[in-house]
Structure 1
Amino acid sequence: MTRASSSRTFTACWTCRRRNIACDAAVPSCSQCRRSNITCEGYHFNLVWVNSETGSYAPQQRRTFPCHLTWRGYPTWTLGEVDHLIRDCEHSQYRQCRCRLHQGRTPFTVFPRAHGKTEPVNADDADTGEDILPSPQPVHLNDADFRFLTFGPLQGHNSTPSIQSTGTSTSEASHPEEWILDILEGVESDTPVREDQGLVQQEPKNSLRRSTRKTPMPLISRPTQPWNVDAGYNESKLFHHFLSYLAKGMIPVDDDHNPWKTVYPSLALQITRSTEAQALYHALLAQSAYHLANLKGPERGSQEKASAVRHCGIALHQLRKSLVAPSKDYTTVLAALYTVILAEHVFQGASSGWQIHIRGAQAFVNQYLDKQPWRQSPEAYIVTQNFALSVLISSTVDNSYLGTATAEGVSELDGLLRDLMTKHVFGYTLGGTSHILRAIYQTRLLEARINGRAGADGQLELDADTIAQVSEILQLSHVPLADKVEAYLCHRKLSGITVQPRLWTLTRLHLRLFNTAVMIYLFCTVLRCTPSSVAHDVLQVLRDATTFIEMHHGTVSVWPVFVAATEAYTPEAQTLATQCLDTLGARGAENRRHMQRVVHQVWSNRQKLASERQCDPGDVLVDWRQVMKGLNMNILLL
């Protein structure tokens, strides 16, 4: 007679199991433990590694468990720690590493180490233009290896509230164990692992945990969805590259308020997977792919460039669908529009066509001027601010952009810019403050006024109103630097972040060079003064930029450096400008290399005119925008 099979269930607490007595499974503690006045150890799962050869494991443990819960309760790794563990799998130099990460079991211990590579990959490769990540290679797993491996969040802040796209802040942030990336393509994350697959780990005694100090981060939002679980290896690689390398260089001073590490990925990975979210997601991948292609060069980066073109095409397709949809999320659509502009005209370096794209995005924003969604959520404010900054900077490049064609645009965006500038954080993603950006805006309006009232011979006419407007710009420039530093660091202090001396120094350097560059732009580009009148200011900007680059690995805003470099005429200033531009050109954004070409052409034209006129080069005014036009280029200085 065949014995009926039975399914064993475990509902008793761990204390009663060890004592081999009945348990009523009451929570938070069972009746037996309360009656005996002993600690009830609860009903959690204790997972243990199984010996793949003998099949033995520690008693009173669980051998199999749904894979997506394998690493629940384990510490969150930073991207740098994940990179270190990956390098251990790939390079023999790291096999004997004795750091704390290798003291216990990790998901990476199941991967066989690759052979044939001798050079470690590190984050500094981004500085030298070498490969950031190894090329995709097949991983062959034997029978004792995991086939359903997943791991938890690469980086997160458990104390940070999740800010939804509607602007409501909730404490129900995504749990780390729900933020999972499938490493192997085409597997189900909830498939149980076989008993012979050398399984999961027991809670280590010395867990590597990050600080749990709760700090309010009002400008940070975490992804509302795990990583894109449907993504293949290449997409995951590009997204990892964006988060770990590219995002931190998108603003001059990187910190936890960097929206490219928080807001944009969060919007792209929404659970709903709307068309606008998919557009943003693929636009971010296009940025990452173009960046990698530029670092590798034309020959070695052809695969990444093809991938960038493909993702950019997908982003544009999804963006068109979202724009005609009856209901759309303002924040995500604008984020996608802005990211596509950066991908095509900053990282790809397309030197024409950005005016059409910016005006298209501007028309989209104009539809929401009455609703003012940027007042309703921090995410909407940050995305709108970034777009407004791009409009402001782009208007300094294209002279015709300030003529009659933009007279209406000025009035339409006037209220938006003034509203955005009331916030103390305005301009921080560009490395400036509201004082500095307001000065650029006033200079832009001044130039539009001058162009509209210029004489028939093109001579500059300074009437009382124009002089008053110049005086207003100078007053904004002369706001004490300490006040500007305080305004820039205000949001960090409000979040309880201690401002270290190095951060204060970097902020002061960048704000000073940005503020001085505005004055160079005002006097040389708008008021048409000769470079000799701003020679000291040019040298100051380039010295500050050089110091900032040396301290902060080259993530300086390009607009002030470019403006100062075009007016450099002394050997010292040109040497500093060349050093800065060379560093910026090696960072993976193609438009930086176009800037170098324009600057050198300006210098060449100035020297040629000085020789013809037999005067000092500092007395020769050369409009860099006309030089750019002569080169059939129109660079977006972002």
Structure 2
Amino acid sequence: MPKPDGIPTRGTKKYTGCWTCRKRGIRCDEKRPCCQNCVVHGVICEGYKLKLCWNDDSESSSMRRLKKNRCLVLYEWKENQLLDQLQIDYFLDRIDTASVFLNPRSLEIENEFGYGPFTVFKASCEVEMSKEHVSQNYESIIGDSETFSLGTRSRIQERLEQNSFEGVFPDLEIEVSLLEFWDRHYSKSLTPVDETEVNPYNLLLKEAFDKPHPADIQRGIFHTVCAICSSFLSTSADLAFIAPEYQNTNFDEYRMFHKIRALNFVSDKYSWKEVGTIEELSFLVGSIYFLLATDSFNSSDEWQIHLRGAVSALKAISDMDGGILISGQGEPEGLSSALQFFCQMTKVAYLESTLYQFSDDVCNKNLTVEDLEFMKYPEDSITESLVYRNSGITPGMMRCLTNIVRFLQVTDSLEAQTSAVKNIEEELVECKPPAFNAGIGSLNPLIVHHQSMIFYTAINLLFLREVKKREPHDLQALVDSGIDHIEMYEEISKNITGLGLFWPCFIVCCEATSKESQARVRQWLEIIEPYGVDTMRRGSRVINTVWHRREDGDQVSWLSVIREIDSSLWLA
């Protein structure tokens, strides 16, 4: 790799021998993976990888010189290669994210160099997080939270009967079990963090069921909850969290029954949306989003209709109050916060899907990115926003994704394209997620940080591939960084049942080109397979198709592959 002008080369010393020969002060033959000097003398060859070291004032000057240009391996770069800014940022980011839970008390391996960023740790490159430390933090999350609950089985039965709720059978036994399942398990799985107060689904239910609202609203929302729970149970490979007496139930029958009843409720409210109250329309939007989540478990094109319906209902709310409620500024606080979440996630769903939907699909027909301008994402108190606390998406990232879609969708003249590209590049720099504060005693902020970094990586890859037309092999440092965050997120959240957004992970996985990075992706896909989410299985098929075609030298875009083999896929 040629050196840029202005960087001197005279006096540069290359440290290419193995660490053992360097310490012994002998010439190394540099055989790989172990040098023959070490093999002949029966000593352990410490290899050639880079180590990140901090100088110790008590060390001799010769030892400090030995360490000067050798760092902890991040990847096997030769010392005489220069890194571009993207690669430097990637390596520094790996150090930062790896160090979050490491401290001297949690590590068992001595006399090894380890991760930073600004404290010297004794650790190996393969060290795992302290299980005790993770457990303590996890308990601090769930210990004192006030959990919203539909109540005991008898209380759920009473609620249903009071609302003249109709089930598949009159005894409502399975419906009660479905709602109990929601309380105990499924409501937690819809968000990646374990904080009841930031669960928008339960905020909506709390408003609907704990306050005196009309029975038709409560019945309709009960149907949506039964529909989403039975959809999950009809596709999940693991039913261990269901009582044995219900494991042979035909949940698909309940899914279809309650989905039809939920659609009847939504259709009725939607047809009267122009004269409905803001509160009624808020419940309509929430119910539609529940149905959108239901569609992710079964192959269905209905999500496009639901998405259009949600946009239309949100526009009606915005027209009524000038956009106050959907921007999170209205009262009551709980319903307003939940509505803002459903609004912004509806916008994200449109932006993601419109990239690969054909122009005559229901989702895109007569609907462009300009029609979503009324969905404002407030800039103030972003860390308190349910959108950020459940997905890691900041207003800046939303602007970037919006502008990328706008560029691909409506920008025509060369001058406009040049200006748009420059603006997006500036926004991508400005909207980079802040560094994680390791002093926070909870796993949730760390989970959100990794979610945020994954989403940020995805929009960078989308911009570089689809707007800048960069080749995949030029972006592997960025891809590996994204996979790092996916793996870190999976590791720290394994005691929490929630799932984050699949779309940004999908983007990162599609762009992996090396055998090593693809192996890491396959391992992660195997971890999420038991969740039984149909959109994830279909997304995995697209990922493998992209890889297969690139093996033959075709640098195909995932957009063209998904349009060809699964254009109705909703990447939730």
Partner residue in 1 for 2:347: 391
Write out the 4+ residue segments of structure 1 that deviate beyond 6 Å after TM superposition. 155-158, 183-189, 227-231, 297-302
Shift of 1:273: 4.1
Alignment of 1:267-306 (within 5 A): 267-269=207-209, 270-296=211-237, 303-306=250-253
Partner residue in 1 for 2:458: 517
One-letter amino acid matched to 1:625: L
One-letter amino acid matched to 1:542: I
Residue among 564, 568, 571 paired with 1:630: 564
Question: Which ranges in structure 2 are unaligned for 5 or more consecutive residues?
Answer: 1-142, 240-245
Question: 1:369, 1:538 → 2: CA distance?
Answer: 38
Contact 2:347–2:375 (CA<8 Å) still a contact in 1?
Answer: no
Alignment of 1:198-237 (within 5 A): 232-237=172-177
One-letter amino acid matched to 1:579: Q
Question: Which ranges in structure 1 are unaligned for 5 or more consecutive residues?
Answer: 1-154, 163-175, 190-224, 454-462, 490-497, 611-619
Partner residue in 2 for 1:412: 371
Partner residue in 1 for 2:330: 376
Cα RMSD of the aligned pairs, angstroms, is 3.8
Contact 2:421–2:467 (CA<8 Å) still a contact in 1?
Answer: no
Question: 2:341, 2:365 → 1: CA distance?
Answer: 19
Contact 1:542–1:577 (CA<8 Å) still a contact in 2?
Answer: yes
| Cα gap change, 1:466 to 1:402, in 2 (>3 Å) | farther
Which structure has more RCO (C-alpha within 8 Å, separation ≥ 6)?
2
Please tell me whether residue 466 in structure 1 is matched to residue 421 in structure 2: no
Partner residue in 1 for 2:529: 585
Question: 1:470, 1:402 → 2: CA distance?
Answer: 24
| Cα gap change, 1:443 to 1:241, in 2 (>3 Å) | same
Shift of 1:420: 4.2
Partner residue in 1 for 2:480: 539
Shift of 1:549: 0.5
Partner residue in 1 for 2:555: 621
Paired residue secondary structure (2:197): coil
Please tell me whether residue 339 in structure 1 is matched to residue 290 in structure 2: yes
- Rg bigger for which structure? 1
Please tell me whether residue 572 in structure 1 is matched to residue 552 in structure 2: no
TM-score by length of 2: 0.62
Alignment of 1:175-214 (within 5 A): 181-182=153-154
One-letter amino acid matched to 1:376: G
| Cα gap change, 1:262 to 1:598, in 2 (>3 Å) | same
Partner residue in 1 for 2:194: 254
Paired residue secondary structure (1:262): helix
Paired residue secondary structure (1:586): helix
Contact 1:276–1:322 (CA<8 Å) still a contact in 2?
Answer: no
Please tell me whether residue 367 in structure 1 is matched to residue 316 in structure 2: yes
Question: 1:278, 1:636 → 2: CA distance?
Answer: 27
Contact 1:366–1:412 (CA<8 Å) still a contact in 2?
Answer: no
Shift of 1:600: 0.9
Aligned residues: 400
Shift of 1:282: 1.1
Partner residue in 2 for 1:123: none
Partner residue in 1 for 2:113: none
Question: 2:255, 2:313 → 1: CA distance?
Answer: 25
Partner residue in 2 for 1:54: none
Alignment of 1:120-139 (within 5 A): none
After superposition, give the CA deviation of every residue in 1:238-261 in whole Å (9 maximum; x if it has no partner): 112223222222222231333245
Question: 1:355, 1:623 → 2: CA distance?
Answer: 23
Contact 1:598–1:627 (CA<8 Å) still a contact in 2?
Answer: yes
Question: 1:480, 1:336 → 2: CA distance?
Answer: 32
Please tell me whether residue 446 in structure 1 is matched to residue 396 in structure 2: no
Paired residue secondary structure (1:396): helix
Please tell me whether residue 355 in structure 1 is matched to residue 304 in structure 2: yes
Question: 2:516, 2:402 → 1: CA distance?
Answer: 31
| Cα gap change, 1:306 to 1:240, in 2 (>3 Å) | same
Contact 1:282–1:315 (CA<8 Å) still a contact in 2?
Answer: yes
Q: Which has the higher helix share?
A: 2
Partner residue in 1 for 2:265: 318
One-letter amino acid matched to 2:373: D
Paired residue secondary structure (1:348): coil
Contact 1:566–1:599 (CA<8 Å) still a contact in 2?
Answer: yes
Question: 1:628, 1:562 → 2: CA distance?
Answer: 12
Contact 1:185–1:232 (CA<8 Å) still a contact in 2?
Answer: yes
Question: 2:431, 2:463 → 1: CA distance?
Answer: 19
Contact 2:178–2:226 (CA<8 Å) still a contact in 1?
Answer: yes
| Cα gap change, 1:243 to 1:472, in 2 (>3 Å) | farther
Paired residue secondary structure (1:182): helix
Shift of 1:407: 7.4
Question: 1:179, 1:156 → 2: CA distance?
Answer: 18
Contact 2:356–2:567 (CA<8 Å) still a contact in 1?
Answer: no
Partner residue in 1 for 2:393: 432
Shift of 1:543: 1.8
Shift of 1:520: 0.5
Question: 1:401, 1:236 → 2: CA distance?
Answer: 39
| Cα gap change, 1:353 to 1:319, in 2 (>3 Å) | closer
| Cα gap change, 1:185 to 1:251, in 2 (>3 Å) | closer
| Cα gap change, 1:580 to 1:283, in 2 (>3 Å) | same
Shift of 1:312: 0.6
Please tell me whether residue 477 in structure 1 is matched to residue 390 in structure 2: no
One-letter amino acid matched to 2:270: L
Shift of 1:383: 2.1
Please tell me whether residue 550 in structure 1 is matched to residue 491 in structure 2: yes
TM-score by length of 1: 0.56
